[in-house]
Chains A and B, each alone.
Chain A
């Protein structure tokens, strides 16, 4: 599989996926861009919009279903993944999208997230990570950096943050990717890849909360720093970055190191990205150091890992088919009668 998926020729347009509801995110919120890209991508998937369901939990991002003219449920905090599991088990043919945030998916709903991933329901998780609680007005989240000063941590947060992709990898997710709200093209490509993956796809989207955590990701998203701080993964290509594409990542044993191509390093020595490599994916996912530190590694974006594994809902349906094949459709009268009866005349 490559990073570019050929979209279907759309019969619908982005407009067909917009609802009559007024979008109520704060002006300048990163969610607007994500909504726009999702609305652009949806018509190209070749899926009738009645077969698409967007399930969300609670949080700013979780208002998403109201703005998508598909089926949708705005459920309760942290439980979108569990609602979607039941829905997908009930109706495997539906295209189910879970829109969630860092608090929703990793804090209150952390349990359901990991269990959905290990079960590998064929759903798409869009994790809007803004490293802050927006809807409750600015407390730190499970992805907030240590020492962060927020309303609930006036002396700085003492929580160690999650690396969301490492968590997904630990739960044996079958598709793990990262993108950002400020790179619409990359975001669209990642949405297409998520949709194309059969199994649970986990797409982390860096999303700027311009009210409570403005600029959290600007080092990765802004023109002047992006080339040096973000590295874009492409299948079969070497890990190269830098304003002049002059830097690369090489593996020194199990340790990724930066090499400078103009200083004699060859692209032949560089790490060639293979998204199907289970072991290297774990190293790549751990390229997650603090971008304010000297000598840190760039943050990767793209598809880190992809594999094929049986989906829960398919095996569940297969067991029912097996039971049918063995005994025929259930006979209620036979069940109610059981094996041992007696008659009173």
Chain B
């Protein structure tokens, strides 16, 4: 039995196996277990677009990366310390992300002739036997055989028994990292309570995996990672799409507006629908429409009826919603369009992350069609971003685009969740009667923010018509008058520009207020940019980091911040989009750094490019 315990500062584990091996579930369970210990953590699920690619093949590999640490961390890590490979394909796909000298836990049953062939290893070559893994610490175990053995007293088919393999591995890792398994046992009890055989097989496999570690002297040490030094408070683990859904629910609650979600399933946004559809007790109406267009137009109908209209989608879906977004701009009614971005164009990379819809959000409509844009930067930040997007939408009577992406949508981190009392209530008012000096309701009469009144059908004496045709200023009647059209285009633009008066000033996330290099980021690159800047700042480099939430309009002081630096670097997971907008608006020679591979930045590559710019 291992009798020594090694204390580590942090660990990056990647669970990899076939899509059917339950790696996402295994990863999520280990994540929750780590979270309960008070570790800081970040996750990166990475799964194929196909529901079930052929078993054992390279495209069928599903991975879940988890980093847990006693320090504050902001990314799931560049390289893994431990790779769990359930079959040959999983090893082949993920070996490159393993640190030299890292641990590989392999299921030897996944390396038989058939699996090796499916993973495209040449005939007669087995990486477990050809010394190609000599630079790593390889822990071999026949998970399949041991799981079957552990479950021999249960009357289930072999196929069903094999489904518990992932629990055996999880149990083994719980032993390795010195964990208590209670949370997973109660999870399994809740999930399979009504199927006693499946519950028993999973719990038994889990315990057998733990006991296997305990009774064989595989290791000289067990590992443990201490609690992180995080801000005091109560935390929970939170994923991006869930946080986004919660932000919408919170906004609905504090604004008093009941929510209507009109949506059409699309990866990676569908989980927002799944989450919201479970919370009907908040008065949420979720509508799975026949297509993306009906999704947004039904939400427009609901907003017109006085609800908080929301539609959720990803890039291709937003393309379909474009015309209706223009209608919402013309109607000047609240509407939230959530785009959980993925790799494009067209169907692109449905399960991979990218920040390539910023231009689409900014400019992708016919006519002069300005719309505010908000970006979320981390999984838990999706909560605050959604809340802010709703606030702007209902207080400024405008559709708002909220950008998230696949990386933060499916990633998880600890979240010091707020109390309702901590949230600034969103004030909304409907106009219900004519003012003292009004003899007739004027639907496009504006206040000092240039915002028109929200009057819902059913309000007596205020009957009026709105629509997509150009309207006369103030009265809202159809107008093709040339001067009026120019005036209305300018007003709609000014209305959106004026939102800058009602949003916080841009903060510098880290570094000095002036210096040599300013790194500007937005969205899900927050963690990698923060980590890279922190490393350079620790080395004494003159680097500051600004991360933008309000993408349109920008905070009023952004231009002043930019002026205080010699150089500006804008790293993005696209082919250079924010960099064009920043150059356009501030006439600054900002430099792009682009990665368009469907995966996040590594800290190392960011540090390298920043160093190059600092050296010039």
Contact surface of A with B, Cβ cutoff 8 Å: 19, 21, 48-51, 53, 55, 58, 65-66, 68-76, 79, 82-91, 93-94, 111-112, 115, 316, 319-320, 322-324, 326-330, 332-333, 335-338, 340-345
Contact = CB atoms under 8 A, between A and B. Distances in A.
A332 B247 CA distance: 10
Contact of B457 (A51, A111, A319, A322): A51
Interface in B228-268: 228, 230-237, 246, 249-250, 253, 258, 260, 262
Contact of A85 (B246, B294, B460, B466): B294
B233 A50 contact: no
Given A336-B418, A338-B236, A86 B302 contact: yes
B462 interface: yes
A76 B300 CA distance: 11
Given A71-B457, A76-B327, A89 B302 contact: yes
Contacts of A89: 260, 285, 287, 298, 301-302
Contact of A342 (B234, B461, B478): B234
Given A72-B465, A73-B466, A336-B419, A343 B300 contact: no
Contacts of B477: 21
B249 A330 contact: yes
B183 interface: yes
18 contacts: A48-B460, A65-B467, A76-B326, A85-B287, A85-B289, A86-B262, A86-B299, A86-B305, A90-B285, A91-B457, A91-B458, A94-B458, A112-B297, A330-B249, A330-B253, A340-B36, A340-B236, A343-B233
Given A50-B460, A82-B298, 20 more contacts: A65-B465, A72-B466, A74-B468, A76-B324, A76-B468, A82-B289, A83-B297, A85-B294, A86-B301, A88-B301, A89-B287, A91-B305, A94-B305, A94-B457, A319-B280, A330-B283, A336-B418, A337-B234, A338-B417, A340-B35
Contacts of A338: 236, 417
B463 interface: yes
A75 B467 contact: yes
Give the most central of A65, A69, A79, A323: most B CB within 10 Å: A79
A343 B235 contact: yes
A163 B233 CA distance: 65
Contacts of B249: 330, 332, 335
Contacts of B456: 91
B301 A50 contact: no
Given A82-B289, A336-B418, A344 B327 contact: no
B235 A342 contact: yes
B142 interface: no
Interface residues of B, number: 73
A84 B604 CA distance: 53
B230 A344 contact: yes
A320 B234 contact: no
B74 interface: no
Interface string B276-310: 00011111110101110110011111111111010
A70 B463 contact: yes
B227 interface: yes
A344 B70 CA distance: 12
B125 interface: no
Nearest to A53: B457
A115 to B, nearest CB: 4
B35 A75 contact: no
A302 to B, nearest CB: 30
B186 to A, nearest CB: 9
Given A86-B299, A89-B287, A344 B281 contact: no
Contacts of B399: none
Given A89-B260, A111-B290, A75 B457 contact: no
Give the most central of A50, A55, A70, A83: most B CB within 10 Å: A83
Given A50-B457, A94-B457, A86 B35 contact: no
B297 A76 contact: yes
Contact of A79 (B236, B250, B297, B309): B297
A50 B458 contact: yes
Nearest to B419: A333
Contacts of B282: 329-330, 332, 335
A174 B457 CA distance: 26
A340 B303 CA distance: 35
A227 B269 CA distance: 58
